[in-house]
A = this chain, B = another copy of it.
Amino acid sequence: MNSLDQTLANARIVLVRTSHPGNIGASARAMKTMGLKRLVLVAPEKFPDPVADARAVGALDLLEQAQVCETLEQALAGTVHAVALSARRRELSHPVRSARESAVELAKLAREGEVALVFGTEISGLSNAEAELCHELVTIPADPEFSSLNLGAAVQVMAYELRVAAMAHLPGQGPREEQGELAKFEDIELMFRHLEETMLASGFLDPAQPKRLMPRLRRLFSRVTMEKEEVNIIRGLLKSLTPTRK
């Protein structure tokens, strides 16, 4: 594989609770035209399905190799960065980037580790809890009066942007300034769990009145692409602050 193919192979498309199998097929075809190979389906309503196969045309191999999981957490295992596509404004305080800006960042990170682009259901998108599992929100610029891209069309635009960005990055540009190994999704989730337990134990987080404390912390850490060593430091710190049970 050349470095363009390698970079694109590191990007997975995650479709969450997709209603229409035709959209899964169209997404597979869209991915394949841009050199993306890895499709992950979280709790699809109907899959496998002949309608998905029909719409995939020459991309049946992607459907056959698609990974099906129960939760978005499982779908993001192993990724160093995940972005959530979002048409609507949310109360979430996550950063929101344009498709192009985000693709440039994703293409850069995909040279070092696995990245994910997460698409919600056709009607309601992603839940806030799901969006919060991602590092940032991405919006495809659209006419505010009719901004509902078809799911397959949205996958096509993002896959296209990713390919163009990966092509632009090709000629041996240097890696990120930071040089350490990037933290994986599951490392960071363990850190958040550790953080939450610590705050609950300390009483700082009141389960009766959580005040969006965890989402805010997630946002803070989402703005940096964390390295493994940094996650270890945070967890070491948390551990050092937790009173040992008697």
Q: Give the residue name and chain of the B residue nearest to A140 (CB).
A: B160
Binds B, one of A29-37, A76-84, A198-206, A225-233: A29-37
Q: Give the residue name and chain of the B residue nearest to A166 (CB).
A: B141
- Picked from B30, B149, B160, B164, the residue with its CB within 8 Å of the CB of A150 is B30
CB neighbours of A190 from chain B (8 A) = none
Determine the distance from Cα of A30 to Cα of B149 in the docked complex, in whole angstroms.
Answer: 7
CB neighbours of A178 from chain B (8 A) = none
A136-170 interface with B by 8 A CB criterion: 140-143, 146-150, 152-153, 156-157, 160, 163-164, 167
CB neighbours of A146 from chain B (8 A) = 32-33, 58-59
CB neighbours of A157 from chain B (8 A) = 156-157, 160
A100-B164, A148-B58 given as contacts; is B143 within 8 A of A34 (CB)? yes
Interface class of chain A by DSSP: helix
CB neighbours of A34 from chain B (8 A) = 142-143
Determine the distance from Cα of A100 to Cα of B141 in the docked complex, in whole angstroms.
Answer: 15
A69 interfacial by beta-carbon distance below 8 Å = no
In the complex, what's the smallest C-beta–C-beta distance from A136 to chain B, in angstroms? 19
| B163 pairs with A142, CB closer than 8 A | yes
A74-126 interface with B by 8 A CB criterion: 100
Q: Give the residue name and chain of the B residue nearest to A157 (CB).
A: B160
Which 8 A-B residue pairings sit nearest by Cβ, starting from the closest? A35-B143, A153-B156, A33-B142, A32-B146, A33-B149, A157-B160, A30-B153, A156-B156
Determine the distance from Cα of A142 to Cα of B58 in the docked complex, in whole angstroms.
Answer: 14
| B150 pairs with A26, CB closer than 8 A | yes
A217 interfacial by beta-carbon distance below 8 Å = no
A213 interfacial by beta-carbon distance below 8 Å = no
A156-B153, A163-B142, A164-B100 given as contacts; is B57 within 8 A of A148 (CB)? yes
**Can you sample 12 A-B contacts with CB below 8 Å?**
A26-B150, A33-B143, A33-B146, A33-B149, A58-B146, A59-B146, A141-B160, A149-B156, A150-B152, A150-B156, A153-B153, A153-B156
Which of A100, A150, A167 has most B Cβ within 10 Å? A150
Q: Give the residue name and chain of the B residue nearest to A62 (CB).
A: B146
| B100 pairs with A147, CB closer than 8 A | no
CB neighbours of A160 from chain B (8 A) = 140-141, 157
